[in-house]
Structure 1
Amino acid sequence: MTEPHRYTCCVRWSDVDAYGHVNNVMYFEYFQEARIMAMAEAVAADEQLGFVVARTVVDYRRPVLFRAEPYVIETRATHIGTSSFDLEAVIVDGTEALARSRTTVVAFDSATQRSRPLRPIEREGVTRILSSS
């Protein structure tokens, strides 16, 4: 199986709500940060790439708490289609999964405002984090 992309995520004091844990909306931001870094590292930086998020679902399993030590977000591709791909990301604390997201990302042409086929360089980059499980 291909290794997932790993992103370290620091919780900011302003991310914590009145209950003492990270507000549910911040999870979307954390997953977005991890997704952007995974794609930036998977595809050459000099390419003009356009993607839009078509769908994101988050499952909250255990609270993410404020602490000095960062959490790790592991991101991997689970499906690659003609013009889109699916990513799964997990916020982990050691071996425990705290939250999981599933996101469908679509290659997007800003001139036509429509989806477009994935370019070979994009497909190759996403394939590098493709899960075989």
Structure 2
Amino acid sequence: MVPGLTDRKTLSRWTNDPRARESISELWRHDPNPAQTLLFQEDINDGIERGDVSVLNYHYYCCPWAPIYRVNRPILVGDRRLQPGQEFTYEASAEEVLETGRFVRKIVNGPFSTTSQIDYCNPGDFHDD
């Protein structure tokens, strides 16, 4: 799995799931700029260290199953300015690569709700999100 991108509390679940391992491989295989993908996560990690961001107790439903965060103090993640009280996650996805050529790297704003849905986000898979 992807330390930092994947919610640490769920790493063992995804590590033991063959489809999840395949999805992570596909994500990195199609990522045109892995350094940029990790740079966004570094912004978030720096915010956590400063106390600007808190990690909540649930994760996003799409590969790489990133944590959901809450903003405690204003923070800039990539080019997005986030404000206190906002919930967000970081989506990195190769799901649209075969259809559009686009690798997705974005901040997704909440609020979020719990779901039993899992999306492996493999390129070429049917998706309705």
Same-fold status (TM-score > 0.5): no
Tell me the TM-score normalized by structure 1.
0.26
- The TM-score with structure 2 as length reference comes to 0.26
Q: Give the structure with higher Rg (CA).
A: 1
Q: Which has the higher contact order (CA 8 A, sep 6+)?
A: 1
